[in-house]
Amino acid sequence: MQIAVYGKGGIGKSTVSANLSAALAALGTKVLQIGCDPKHDSTRLLHHGQRITTVLDYLLNTSPDDQKPDDVLAEGYMGAGCIEAGGPRPGKGCAGRGILTAFEFLNKHRVLDPYDVVVYDVLGDVVCGGFAVPVRKEYAQGIFLVTSGEAMSIYAANNILHGINNLDPDGSRIAGIIYNSRGAGDEKERVYEFARAVDLPICLSLPRSEAFLKAEREAKTLTEMDPGSREAELFRGLAEHIREGLQLYPAKPLSEEQMELFMRGEGLGSDAGLQSRTGQQNEISAFGDCEACEKAGTDKETVTGEQRTDTASENVQPSGAASVPKKRALSDPFSRVPLSGCSYRGAVDLAVHIKDAAVLGHAPKSCTSYAVNGLSSYGRNGLFSRGIIYPSFIPQHFDNTDIDIRDAVYGGAEHFREKALELAKKGNKYIVAVTSCIPGLSGDDLEPVKDELKAMGVDMYIIHADGVEVGDYNDGMAFCYKAIANEAIKPVENVDKDSINIVYELNWSLNTQDNYEKIEALLKAMGIRVNCRYLYDTTMEEINGFLRAPYCIMAREDKLGREIKELFENKYGCSFIADSFPRGFGETRDLVTKLGILYSKEKEAAVLIEKGTNEYNAALRSLRQSFEGIDVMAFLGNSSPWVKELLQDLELDLKYVLTPENEADNQGWTYRFSEAYGKDREEFSAKAERIRPKLILTTDPSILSKTPEGSKVIMLPRSIGTGFTSGTDEAYRWIKNMGTELKGRWKNDRSVFEKYYC
């Protein structure tokens, strides 16, 4: 049989567990006590305080091939087995994960098999999954709650009942309450009142006694030090009770409201539905079956060392408990843009664009493999589709700590330190550290490493991309953008009046570099240099000197982009010229005009605009001939000024254009699932079937219930290139597609593969 002893920290669980184990051993029971506390002091009274090796220390310092269960099993009073699970040093690692690891080792080597009774002494409360292990069905069958009459002790006992109810809502697992008196006021009455309220018996009532203190000073149990004492007799009675078979009861915790009333000393009300098993306040003896257990009725189980027979009725929610509506496991899936990856990968995908910085992932190997595959896929895609290698997707140094179970349990800060120092010794002056979920949960503190590297002349920037806390891919990117902006930008002495910063380019698109080159050509024509691309194909040196440029331009606009822009404006006083790269002729002309004024380059701007206007008009004349006799319908699922401008300048035979009233921050994702979108779909599809135009332009092909006979549907990109002729370049694509029956781009894969790989 396996039992667990739970209760508030410092309430006497270890004293109770050790004395109970000693009493069982004295009765001839083969008993094993397992201390589930990083302090590893649970079994000291059984083995006179001798030092024993904890399971976790043993696993940390012993190779798997050399591990033997006897090395962590100590023999205590009357042959009682003693095991301490142990844990990481205080403030480091994850003790709950450590408990799980220790139990995996004990199960692997079948350490528990030879014992009649196993006693688990568990840290404080059911605080996490690790410390809840003994409660799970395959471990402790019976659970004792140790409490005094103090408020926090009773709160903890009730919280433990909540935890047990969550883990096993339909089972009967509670053996009863062990009342450990502190000798304070009316605490006895409070404990008995609580026992009645939660419908549990008090199986042992321990008086406040100096005998316990004396025994602990001698590192002995009372059964060994003074077997004839009243206290030792009480534990023998409980031990006999366990050997004969425990009656178990379901967990019926008080609700928060009921607990508040109880702690105030107020009645729970007639509707509480919580009646005593006995109906009276008699002290319940540990000797044999207690009166309460005999009168408990059907709401119980009987468990012995040989068998466990379920006789419990269905665990019914107390009638007085507040009705709690079930929560949805996930938020409304249509309330946000779909997830596109974890935050660790999002942060890494940005960090690798800092060409003179080493990226150090503090993550399991699988996380980094996922991240590397993601960032390198852009390069592979570019090579396959265009025959271009994008060096911005090849980081200078990308290392990883390859977190394993030891780092998760004991903390991986020292492991991280070793990797960071290795990168520093290789000559890296900048390191961007990106953490994953596990170091966030185990509490790794990397700041001391950052300070140590600073003394060596190496700047480290820590991106805490813990997915559990931070979120998904977009959240990881946001955290990286903001962390680097907050820490890496330095004051400058001189401003380069003829320079500009570009902020928030799309880091995963193959069109990003093309758009940059077009913008750069416009800027060069006016004598303006790009100071920093934040964060794309840049250097930490350029980021440090971000403030050298008097103005900035956003590459694109969305919710995150606006947050980044506000950070630069509020923290550094940066001035932004535009919210996104110009799309189409009109936006490009307006931007060039504004640049000419701000940079005192009006003449250069005028020359550039004249040249761009001539190119645009020439393209329009050619396109008008191609579109002659073609009628058009357009559905613009988002705000697309460049499309409207282009359609007007081409003088097309426009039959119908539908544009949503509002563009959502998430690029129309929620709009697609709105009632308004459904009406727009029906209206547009009906008109298209009636008009049957030769060309239908749409941002969403699903807007049509079917393609009208004789119509060509062309998907509009969410954004096009930049520059004076970006719109007309897109119109040329329309003409080309109208004369082409596409069977699927996959048909080109073989020629591309043979060209670049064979």
pLDDT digits (tens, 9 = 90+) for 408-441: 888 899 999 999 999 999 999 999 999 998 887 7
> Residues 686-701: what's their mean pLDDT?
91
Return the closest-CA partner of residue 198 out of 171, 173, 167, 177. Answer: 177
Please say if 116 is a catalytic residue.
Answer: no
Most confident of 180-184, 378-382, 661-665, 748-752: 180-184
Q: Domain 337-488 belongs to what topology?
A: Rossmann fold (3.40.50)
Predicted confidence (pLDDT) per residue in 65-110, tens digit: 899 999 999 999 999 999 999 888 777 777 777 888 888 899 889 9
Compare 522 and 127 and report the one with higher pLDDT.
522
Residue 380: pLDDT band with limits 50, 70, 90: low
Predicted confidence (pLDDT) per residue in 180-190, tens digit: 998 776 788 99
CATH for 2-269+279-310 (3.40.640.10, 2.40.50.140, 3.40.50.300, 3.30.565.10): 3.40.50.300
Q: Is residue 62 helix, strand or coil?
A: coil
For residue 255, the model assigns a pLDDT of 92
Cα 78 from Cα 31, distance rounded (Å): 9
Pairing assessment for the beta strands 308-310 and 301-303 based on DSSP bridges: antiparallel
**Residues paired with residue 715 on neighbouring β-strands, in sequence order:** 698
Torsion of CA 523, 524, 528, 529, to 10 degrees: 100
The Cα angle at residue 506 between residues 503 and 511, in degrees rounded to 5:
120
Give the tokens for residue 17: 């567990």
Within 220-324, residue ranges assigned H as helices are 222-225, 230-244, 256-263, 291-294
588, 518 Cβ separation under 8 angstroms: no
Residue 508: pLDDT band with limits 50, 70, 90: confident
Domain boundaries, the chain: 2-269+279-310, 337-488, 619-745
| Whether pLDDT at 275 is above 70 | no
Cα 9 from Cα 41, distance rounded (Å): 13
For residue 267, the model assigns a pLDDT of 64
Q: Strands, DSSP E only, in 348-505? A: 358-362, 397-400, 430-435, 459-464, 499-503
> Residues 479-484: what's their mean pLDDT?
96
The 8 Å CB, 24+ separation contacts for 99-105 are 99/36, 99/130, 99/131, 99/133, 100/129, 100/130, 100/133, 101/55, 101/56, 101/59, 101/405, 101/409, 102/36, 102/54, 102/55, 102/56, 102/59, 103/133, 103/139, 105/55, 105/59, 105/67, 105/69, 105/72
Cα 228 from Cα 222, distance rounded (Å): 9
Give the chain's largest Cα–Cα span.
112
| Whether pLDDT at 739 is above 80 | no
* Candidates 121, 125, 444, 700; catalytic one: 125
Please say if 121 is a catalytic residue.
Answer: no
247, 257 Cβ separation under 8 angstroms: no
What average pLDDT is seen over the chain?
83
Residue reference for tokens 């026992």: 195
> Residues 707-734: what's their mean pLDDT?
89
Please say if 706 is a catalytic residue.
Answer: no
20, 238 Cβ separation under 8 angstroms: yes
| Whether pLDDT at 229 is above 50 | yes
Q: Strands, DSSP E only, in 626-671? A: 631-635, 653-658
* Structure letter (DSSP) for residue 685: H
CATH for 619-745 (3.40.50, 1.10.10, 1.10.357, 1.10.260): 3.40.50
| Whether pLDDT at 315 is above 70 | no
Within 307-427, residue ranges assigned H as helices are 343-351, 365-386, 405-410, 413-425
Q: Is residue 351 helix, strand or coil?
A: helix
Return the closest-CA partner of residue 595 out of 583, 611, 616, 581. Answer: 581
Residue type, 507: N
Return the closest-CA partner of residue 200 out of 292, 286, 311, 285. Answer: 292
Residue 310: pLDDT band with limits 50, 70, 90: very low
**Residues paired with residue 460 on neighbouring β-strands, in sequence order:** 431
**Residues paired with residue 180 on neighbouring β-strands, in sequence order:** 206
Please say if 226 is a catalytic residue.
Answer: no
Lowest-confidence pick of 208-217, 372-381, 533-542: 372-381
633, 643 Cβ separation under 8 angstroms: no
| Whether pLDDT at 561 is above 80 | yes
Within 27-76, residue ranges assigned H as helices are 55-61
Do the domains spanning 2-269+279-310 and 619-745 agree at the CATH topology level?
A: yes
| Whether pLDDT at 342 is above 80 | yes
For residue 265, the model assigns a pLDDT of 80
Compare 39 and 489 and report the one with higher pLDDT.
489
Give the tokens for residue 573: 């006083």
Report pTM: 0.69
For residue 183, the model assigns a pLDDT of 75
359, 351 Cβ separation under 8 angstroms: yes
Lowest-confidence pick of 36-45, 451-460, 557-566, 697-706: 697-706
Per residue in 495-508, is it b (16+ CB within 10 Å) or e — as a string?
A: eeebbbbbbbbebb
Based on C-alpha coordinates, what's the Rg of the chain?
Answer: 36
Predicted confidence (pLDDT) per residue in 656-691, tens digit: 888 765 544 444 556 666 777 788 888 899 999 999
